Amino acid sequence: MQREWRPDWPCPAGQILAVARRGPGDPSYRIDPAGAHWRGVRTPLGPGALRVEARAAEATVLAQAWGPGAEWLLDRVPTMLGADDDWDGFEARHPVLEDALRRNPHWRIGRTGLVMEALVPAVLEQKVTGQEAFLGFRRLVRGHGERAPGPHDDLWLQPTPEVLAAIPSWEWLRMRVDGARSRAVVTAARVAASLERTTAVTHDEADRRLRSLPGIGIWTSAETRVRAHGDPDAVSFGDFHVAKDIGWALRGRPADDAELAEILQEWAGHRYRVQALLSLGGHRRPRRGPRMAPRGHLPG
């Protein structure tokens, strides 16, 4: 099945979709030589594969989909690409932020409507290096997921909640996922149906429900809500870099989380929008010294 969508703004489809990509080797997200973005998605109607190609010359987006979830995916392409993103009340009000917005005037916050798809990799990224998190996610998807439908020969689907809940503790360790993170994933998988229903409530209520689960804190909830719920206010408090980078960009010096909350008060309701625009604009503090090494005590 396919759909040609004509957005009412110059939609940078790849830039908006890319927030769902978990590292350069994400098996569920591929970019082909033509620049089209592929996603393997487990929809409410079943497995699906989505290919999205922005056609700037025609001002259209071509979306193609395969599998039982194809119709569901095509129906939601505009939402995934930010057509419902509400900028009402947002003003840049800072030269650096104005510059970032000028550089990325057509960026929007997309919304997938798929909570477990966003939550599982977010949990795997808790308190570890990106290298370790992305390795664990790749091993999880390739070892316990399945191939996505359609013509792509190396596009994968994340495991179902039932499969996640049945993975034994020693297998998680072989994927380099420690007990704290694996327990959080398994706990979430057991109530996956309830978590998916959080897309129908307010952002504050979705945050409360997500954080009621053991192992799901403010950072993981925010990372999930941005992708699944399209929450423009979901700041990644607790991140190793975010507070430091925003403080450096807006005040000339790194900040901590308490200072970040104070800095972002004037953008209440759009605090994630500020975080994302500064990142897209390349406004990060200078980083010096060696990268943190992945831990070496886990098997695999």
Look at residue 84 and tell me whether its pLDDT is greater than 70.
Answer: yes
The model's pLDDT over 184-222, given as tens digits with 9 standing for 90+, comes to 999 999 999 999 999 999 999 999 999 999 999 999 999
The model's pLDDT over 142-196, given as tens digits with 9 standing for 90+, comes to 999 999 999 999 999 999 999 999 999 999 999 999 999 999 999 999 999 999 9
Q: Are 83 and 7 in contact (CB under 8 A)?
A: yes
Q: Is 215 left (phi over 0), alpha (psi -120 to 50) or beta?
A: left
Mean pLDDT along residues 274-293: 79
- Per-residue pLDDT band at 290 (split at 50, 70, 90): low
Look at residue 255 and tell me whether its pLDDT is greater than 90.
Answer: yes
Look at residue 118 and tell me whether its pLDDT is greater than 70.
Answer: yes
Q: Name the pairing type of β-strands 156-157 and 29-31.
A: unpaired
The model's pLDDT over 126-138, given as tens digits with 9 standing for 90+, comes to 999 999 999 999 9
Look at residue 297 and tell me whether its pLDDT is greater than 90.
Answer: no
User: Residue 54 corresponds to which amino acid?
Assistant: A
Mean pLDDT along residues 78-96: 97
Delimit the domains of the chain by residue range: 2-88, 115-223
pLDDT for res 283? 86
| Residue recorded with tokens 């999205």 | 52
Q: What percent of the chain has pLDDT over 70?
A: 95
Instruction: Quote the radius of gyration of the chain (alpha carbons, Å).
Output: 19
| Residue recorded with tokens 């396919």 | 2
Nearest in space to 233 (alpha carbons), one of 272, 198, 261: 272
CATH number of 115-223: 1.10.340.30
pLDDT for res 286? 79
The three-state secondary structure class of 142 is helix
Mean pLDDT along residues 232-255: 96
DSSP string spanning 224-242?
HHHHHT--TT---TT-SSH
